[in-house]
Amino acid sequence: MSTLVFAEHDGRALKAATLNTVTAAIKLTEPVHLLVVGQGIQEVASAAAQVAGVDKVLVADNAVYAHPLAEVLAPLLTELARAYNAVFLPATTTGKNVAPCVAAMMDVQQISEITAVVSPDTFVRPIYAGNALATVQSKDALKVITVRGTAFEAAPATGGAAEIMAVEAVQPVTGASFVGQELAVSVRPELTSARVVISGGRGMQNGDNFRLLEPIADKLGAAIGASRAAVDAGFVSNDLQVGQTGKIVAPDLYIAVGISGAIQHLAGMKDSKVIVAINKDDEAPIFQVADYGLVGDLFVELPKLSAALPSP
């Protein structure tokens, strides 16, 4: 039996999370088949066939799949899943949207956001926003799994030579239609996939002061985030929130500015590789997790930091 991996793509290229998911799937030591679904996706299928470690590429190229709605993807994946031991999806918003539908249709309990493969039926996954790691064993014959991309290396995008096989479309669930899409046109990277994140907390004092973060973000190619305290105080909108009730981030560099380090904020960023804290209170809990702490007034230190950083 083999492992089926759902490939996420933008219509032209595979998304990075797909390659991390392939690495996780390879750990089951069964042949890996990559499923590419969409409309007019020959280019993506060719790229998929070159991913190292992929044995076969299944391509469902059909107008039905123009938009990746759960209602069209889940019936296809469910139909195909019957021939596999395991179905892996990246834990992206698309993967998270579709995987549980497939699991429910196959009557299996999905395993969400795994961070390690212990054996073909045993996996590690974070719970309580990463404050605990659970090792779970599945009793279901079919495993339906979403994979946290940051926990696995990306499989090499080239070096493979998988055969490409077309698969038929499957009747979708009715009642849902795609209306539109509005992708962020921000020059800044997305919070959850940014290599650098700079976040402001209550210490920023108001929303206008968040502008002080912008020149630094520009120089570092960083996304801007905020603590729940800053959101609750109305400084910035909720979509910037990093924390247990906001976004979970794990960038190479996380800079916390004027953030005291409440538990719920730490839950959202403590897997970052390097953490920098700038806070005037040298007793702030954020310093207990920071690799580099700078005790000082952020209104003095931020302009200095901005000036000290080289232009990109």
Partner 1 sequence: MKALVAVKRVVDYNVKIRVKADNTGVETANVKYSANPFDEIAVEEAVRLKEAGLVTEVVAVSIGPALSQETLRTALAIGADRAILVQTDDEIQPLAVAKILKHLAEQEKPDLVVLGKQAIDDDSNQTGQMLAALLGWPQGTFASKVEIADGKATVTREIDGGLETVGLTLPAVVTTDLRLNEPRYASLPNIMKAKKKPLAVVPVADTGVDIAPRLVTLKVEEPPKRSAGIKVADVAALVDKLKNEAKVI
- Cβ contact 75:170 at 8 Å: yes
Between 86 and 103, CB nearer to partner 1: 103
Residue from 4, 299, 8, 36 nearest 149 by CA: 8
Q: Read off φ and ψ for residue 65, nearest 5 degrees.
A: -100, 25
Strand partners of residue 278: 257, 294
The CB-of-40 to partner 1 minimum distance in angstroms stands at 19
The CB-of-168 to partner 1 minimum distance in angstroms stands at 21
- Cβ contact 101:70 at 8 Å: yes
Between 23 and 279, CB nearer to partner 1: 279
Between 38 and 293, CB nearer to partner 1: 293
The CB-of-174 to partner 1 minimum distance in angstroms stands at 8
- Cα–Cα distances in angstroms (integers) from residue 204 to residues 73, 223, 229, in the given order: 44, 17, 10
Residue from 149, 144, 78 nearest 111 by CA: 144
The CB-of-76 to partner 1 minimum distance in angstroms stands at 13
The CB-of-276 to partner 1 minimum distance in angstroms stands at 7
Between 63 and 183, CB nearer to partner 1: 183
Between 43 and 232, CB nearer to partner 1: 232
Tokens linked to 205: 């004092």
The CB-of-301 to partner 1 minimum distance in angstroms stands at 6
The CB-of-39 to partner 1 minimum distance in angstroms stands at 16
The CB-of-137 to partner 1 minimum distance in angstroms stands at 5
Between 132 and 187, CB nearer to partner 1: 132
- Cα–Cα distances in angstroms (integers) from residue 150 to residues 90, 154, 254, 273, in the given order: 10, 9, 15, 11
Dist. CA 312–CA 308, nearest whole Å: 12
Between 83 and 184, CB nearer to partner 1: 184
Strands 116-119 and 122-127: antiparallel
Tokens linked to 155: 């499989």
Dist. CA 168–CA 295, nearest whole Å: 61
> CB under 8 Å, gap of 24 or more: what pairs does 290-299 form?
290/256, 298/203, 298/204, 298/212, 298/257, 298/258, 299/209, 299/212
Between 52 and 129, CB nearer to partner 1: 129
